[in-house]
Structure 1
Amino acid sequence: MSSLLNDLDVSYTASDAAVVEILENAYKLLKSRFYDRAKVEFNKALDEDHDLATQVVLALYRQMESSGDVEGLLALGANVLNRDPGNVDLANLLGNAYRRQGNITQARNMYQHCLKHDPKFRNATYNLAAMLARVPLFDGSAISAIVEFENLENFKYPQCETEVIESLVEQFRPPEAEGEDKNDTPAKAEVLKDEAVEQIGEALSDLKVSGTEGAEAADEPHPLDLLEHIEVTMDPEHPDEHNTLLNLAFSCLDQEEGRTAQLIFDKLLERDPGNLDLICFRIITDALQEEVNSAEEQLNTFLKQHPNHRYANVNYGILLRRQRKVAQARTYFFIAYKLLERTKGEYEIAKVLEEAERHEENGAARKALELYEPILDELSEPARINRVAGMLQTFNRPRNAQRAYKLTLKLDRRNTDAMKGLKEIRDGYLKELDKALRADQMAKAAELMNYALEITPSNELLTRGIELFELMDNKSRVRELKELRESLGAKATHRQVQAKLLQAQDFEAKRNFKAAIKAYEEAIRIEPRREVYKHMVALCERIQRPDLAEKISEWFNQKEGERERERRAAKH
């Protein structure tokens, strides 16, 4: 009996004894991480009995997926796939293994291999989309993650507040007075509608007949009439007017009444042109008016500028799906899934920030941090990011705080609070490093040194790092740090020379030739460069001092030779 095949629940008979023995030997080699030898044995088994060996390999593969032994998984599956290219299950599993390894190119190749042999293979289609969106979900988990988006019939936007629309409709309907001819009311309404048509042009011609008939049957006012009513009766400065307009726009989107929604969003964008949500919803109205290509192009451009906008990612996915670009749509659904996970399902990041600020004000820093940290990369205010970094320092998470301060410096290179925070973190690393050295904890000391060097690789710290890694006999790291020190030194020297060169040229422009020659001389003393030498000689010729040019040439050649000898000595 074979314990391996029994454990894997693979059926076999007594006549399979030879191949079973080969498979068990291959498995032992695999467990011992002799991957190349294991491949050879699995190939032998495949030659003996292709079907049985393939069953065992697939069963082993699934069993090993949770082990994290990516090399083992790849060794196990690659040869089998070469012999059985139509095995889409295995190709998909290999794609997953390559993804876990971080080999995106090979993962893409495997998923595309699956789809070449079976274009409807669900796992591969979803895995490929998840990979492109950089979402670490696989197979069933990937499929279920975006099912909510795939089931959406309409575009995504905030839900309309029904009570606001009901109130608006009630305000629009005139009260019925006693003795008044009830037939007058429809006539007046008809006049209003005619005026609206004249005012807005062909807006009504774009309406769907079915929607208009439904509204008339229910004796409901048309959205265009409601929009006109708001314009006539409500103060644009009053917050209720903005809220009513917004809800009417969402109601129009519900009814796929793109023209009226467009008019409302255009009006709102005149007041708030930088509102990203309004821009996104305005683009949707083009799609509802059958300007699909324009809407697709606009959303694509919008997402290049604002890749983290949640509504736009979902709506772009829906738009692509409506155009039967399903694979591309899923990628954007996965991006939306990832973004919404950060904000716990909230589409509007402003609301998350408001809640986090409330926690800050109430002294609940940990709760604030739970909201801030997932969206740290999306924050754009240096002061806020610095506050988050400070919280991370308070909770003794210097690595995360370091990352936050560096994000601040990307936005504001001279932010003093961020620089001060990084200095505190670096000093903390160095303090812990000294403790680790005293306790002879060399691995920990090396780790802390690397952390400190990430912040400020000063010449002094680099020298200390080189000494530490020389003690640990880490030659590759010593070489890296020496190269870094040399590179940083060269950059510093270049800056000094350029400063002197600019100073000399400024003196030349002011005809202060003596000061210019002195500045050129100082630049050459820092580092003898031909560029500076040529400027200096040209100046001597311009002021008709060939004797000085000759002396300068002799002196420069001497300096150049000295520097070359110093470089050679440093290499030895």
Structure 2
Amino acid sequence: MSSLFNDLDVPYTASDTAVVEILENAYKLLKSRFYDRAKVEFNKALDEDHDLATQVVLALYRQMESSGDVEGLLALGVNVLNRDPGNVDLANLLGNAYRRQGNITQARNMYRHCLKHDPQFRNAAYNLAAMLARVPLFDGSAISAIAEFENLENFKYPEYETAVLENLVEQLRPPEAEEEDGRDTPAKEEPPKDETVEQIGEALSDLKGSGTEGAEEAGEPHPMGLLEHIEATMDPEDPDEYHALLNLAFSCLDKEEGRTAHLIFDKLLERDPENLDLTCFRILTDALQGETSSAEEQLNTFLKQHPNHRYANVNYGILLRRQRKTAQARTYFFIAHKLLERTKGEYNIATVLEEAERHEENEAARKALELYEPILDELNEPARINRVAGMLRTFNRPRNAQRAYKLTLKLDHRNTDAIKGLKEIRDGYLKELDKALRADQMAKAAELMNYALEITPSNELITRGIELFELTDNQRRVRELKELRDRLGAKATHRQVQAKLLQAQDFEAKRNYKAAIKAYEEAIRIEPRREVYKHMVALCERIQRPDLVEKISEWFNQKEGEYERQRREAKR
């Protein structure tokens, strides 16, 4: 009775004894991390009974996925796939293993290998899209994650308030005929129309006879008529007018009435040109009017500028799917899924920020942090990011606070609060590092040193780090730090030389040749560079001092030789 086959729930018969023994031995070697020897045994098993060995390998592979032994998975799987390239299940599992390892290129190759052999293999198709979107979902989880978006028939936008639309319709509906009582009903005075209203009226007239009769026969006014009514009866300064227009626009999107929606979004964007949601929805109206290629191009450009816009990602996916670009569509659906997870399903990030601010005002820092932290990369206000960093430090999470302060410095590289915060975090690391050294906790000390070096890799700190890693016999890290020290030193030297070079050129422009030659000389003493030497010689020739050229050349060659000797000695 084989314990391996029982664990994997793989049936076998008495005639399979030979291959069972080989697989048992291969499994023992695999568990002991003797990967090369395990490969040899698995190859023997495949030669003995290809079908049974493949069945065991797949079952074993799925079992190993949960263990996180990526190296073992790859050692096992690649070998088998080479012998059985049509095994798409295994190729997909290998793709997953490569993804977990961070090897995106190999993961992509494996998923494409699957789809080459079986274009309808759903797991690989969804895994590839999830990988491109940088979403850590696999197989069934990946498929179910974007099912909501794939099932959408219309574009995604806020739901309109039916009460607002019903009220507008009611206002336009003619009053019921009253019983004749002998009294004349005075004619209702028509409201004055401005030029915009007249244009809308003309547009409405054009629409009649081209698909609008159904709505009119049903007694419902056409959306263009509702727009005309809003324009004629409501004050543009009134918030209710904006609210009515927006709801009418969403109703038009719902009914795929692109022309009216187009007019409304254009009008709203004139008032609020920076509103990204309105811009996104305005682009959708082009798609509804048959200008699909234009809408695709506009949304693509929009997403390059605003990659985290949730509505745009979903709607771009829908637009691509309508054009049968299914693989691309799924990638954008996964991006939307990732973004919406950050905001707990909320499409408007401003709503999340408002809620977080309320928690801050109520001194509920933990609740505020729960909302802020997932969207930290999307924040663009240094003051807000610094507040988040402060909360993280309050809850003793210096590494996360460090990341937040660095995001601030990307937006404002001179932000004093972020610089001060990073210095305090670094000082905290060094204080803990000293404690760890006194307690002979070398591994912890090394970790803290790396954290401190991430913030400010000063020459003094690098030297201290080299000494620490030499004590822990981490020669790889020692080499890295020495190379870092050399790079930083070279940058500092380059800055000094450039400063002297600019100074010399400035003196030349002012015809202060003696000071210029002195500045060139100082630059060469810092580091003898040919470019500086050439500038110096050219100056001597311009001021007709050929006698100096020979002396300068001899002196420069001497300095260059000394510098090279020092470099060689430093490398020993």
Cα pair distance change 1:273/1:55, threshold 3 Å? same
User: Which residue of 1 is the match for residue 72 of structure 2?
Assistant: 72
Q: In structure 2, what is the equivalent of residue 527 of structure 1?
A: 527
Aligned equivalent of 2:381 = 381
Q: Closer, same or farther in 2 for the Cα pair 1:85/1:546, shift >3 Å?
A: closer
Q: Taking structure 2 as the reference length, what is the TM-score of the superposition?
A: 0.94
Deviations 1:75-121 (A, max 9, x none): 22223323332222222222212211222222222222222222212
Worse-superposed segment, 360-369 or 116-125? 116-125
Deviations 1:416-471 (A, max 9, x none): 11111110111111111111111111111111111111111111111111111122
CA distance in 2, matches of 1:380, 1:216: 49
Query: Per-residue deviation at 1:508?
Result: 1.4
Task: Name the structure 2 match of 1:2.
Answer: 2
Aligned to 2:271: 271
Tell me, yes or no, if the aligned pair for 1:283 and 1:298 is still in contact at 8 Å. Answer: yes
Counterpart in the other structure of 1:123 = 123
Q: Given the superposition, is the C-alpha separation of residues 444 and 286 from structure 1 closer, same or farther in structure 2, using an over 3 Å criterion? A: same
Q: Which amino acid aligns with 2:513?
A: F
Within a 5 Å distance, the mapping from 1:281-296 to structure 2 comes to 281-296=281-296
- Work out the CA distance in 2 between the residues paired with 1:7 and 1:565: 67
The corresponding residue for 1:91 is 91
Identity %: 86
Aligned twin of 1:413: 413
Query: How far apart, CA to CA, are the structure 2 residues paired with 1:61 and 1:549?
Result: 74
Which shows bigger deviation, 348-357 or 84-93?
84-93
- 1:395 aligned onto 2:395: yes
- CA 1:470 to 1:3, structure 2 compared with 1: closer, same or farther past 3 Å? closer
Contact 1:124 1:139 in 2 (8 A): yes
When structure 1 is superposed on structure 2, of 246-255 and 12-21 the one drifting more is: 12-21
1:151 and 2:151 matched: yes
1:466 alignment partner in structure 2: 466
Question: What displacement does 1:376 show?
Answer: 0.6
1:389-427 residue CA offsets vs partner (Å, 9 max, x unmatched): 111111111111111111111111111111111101111
- What does residue 163 of structure 1 align with? 163
SS in 1 for 2:494: helix
Structure 1 range deviating more: 459-468 or 507-516 = 507-516
Shift of 1:184: 8.5
Following superposition, the deviation at residue 561 of structure 1 comes to: 2.5
Secondary structure class of the residue paired with 1:149: helix
Residue ranges of structure 2 left out of the alignment (5+ in a row): none
Q: CA-to-partner distance for each residue in 1:484-508, whole Å, 9 max, x for gaps?
A: 1111111111111111111111121
| 2:82 aligned partner | 82
CA contact (8 A) 1:207 1:257 kept: no
Write out aligned runs for 1:236-247 (5 A): 236-247=236-247
User: Which runs of structure 2 are paired with 1:23-34 in the superposition (5 Å)?
Assistant: 23-34=23-34
Please name the residue that 1:19 is paired with. 19
Secondary structure class of the residue paired with 1:67: coil
**TM-aligned CA distance change 1:463 to 1:115, over 3 Å:** same
What's the CA shift for 1:218?
Answer: 2.6
User: 3-state DSSP class of the match of 2:235?
Assistant: coil
Q: Structure 1 pair 556/88, CA: closer, same or farther in 2 (3 Å)?
A: closer
Is the CA contact 1:206–1:259 (under 8 Å) kept in the aligned structure 2? no
> Which residues of 2 match residues 328-477 of structure 1 at below 5 A?
328-477=328-477
CA distance in 1, matches of 2:202, 2:177: 33
Tell whether the 8 Å contact from 1:469 to 1:477 is kept in structure 2 after alignment. Answer: yes
Q: Does structure 1 conserve the Cα–Cα contact (< 8 Å) formed by 2:266 and 2:282?
A: yes
Over 3 Å counting, the alpha-carbon distance change for 1:548 and 1:54 in structure 2 is closer
Task: Rate the CA distance shift 1:176–1:512 in 2: closer, same or farther, 3 A.
Answer: farther
How far off is 1:261 after superposition? 0.3
The residue number in structure 1 matching 2:543 is 543
Is 1:555 the equivalent of 2:555? yes
The alpha carbon displacement at 1:72 in A equals: 1.8
Deviations 1:298-323 (A, max 9, x none): 11111111111100000011111111
Q: Relative to 1, partners in 2 of residues 1:89 and 1:209: Cα closer, same or farther, differing over 3 Å?
A: farther
> 2:360·2:368 contact (CA, 8 Å) conserved in 1?
yes
Counting matched residue pairs gives: 568
CA distance in 2, matches of 1:100, 1:396: 29
Residue 566 to residue 91, structure 1, CA distance change in 2 (3 Å): closer
For residues 404 and 125 of structure 1, the distance between their equivalents in structure 2, rounded to whole angstroms, comes to 35
> What residue in structure 2 maps to residue 230 of structure 1?
230
Query: How far apart in 2 are the matches of 1:208 and 1:483?
Result: 77
Tell me how far apart the structure 1 counterparts of residues 205 and 462 of structure 2 sit (CA, whole Å).
73
Shift of 1:175: 5.2
Aligned-partner residue type, residue 219 of structure 2? D
How far off its partner does 1:20 sit? 1.2
Deviation at 1:62, TM superposition (A): 1.7
CA distance in structure 1 between the partners assigned to 2:209 and 2:440 by the alignment: 79
Q: Is the Cα contact below 8 Å between 1:39 and 1:75 reproduced in 2? A: yes
| Amino acid in the other structure paired with 2:409 | L
Normalised by the size of structure 1, how large is the TM-score?
Answer: 0.94
The equivalences for 1:255-270 within 5 A come to 255-270=255-270
RMSD value, Cα:
2.4
How many angstroms does 1:182 deviate by? 9.2
- Alpha-carbon deviations, 1:501-543, whole Å to 9, x = none? 1111112112222222222222222222221222222222222
SS in 1 for 2:237: coil
**Distance across 2 between alignment mates of 1:547 and 1:85:** 77
Q: CA deviation at 1:207?
A: 8.0
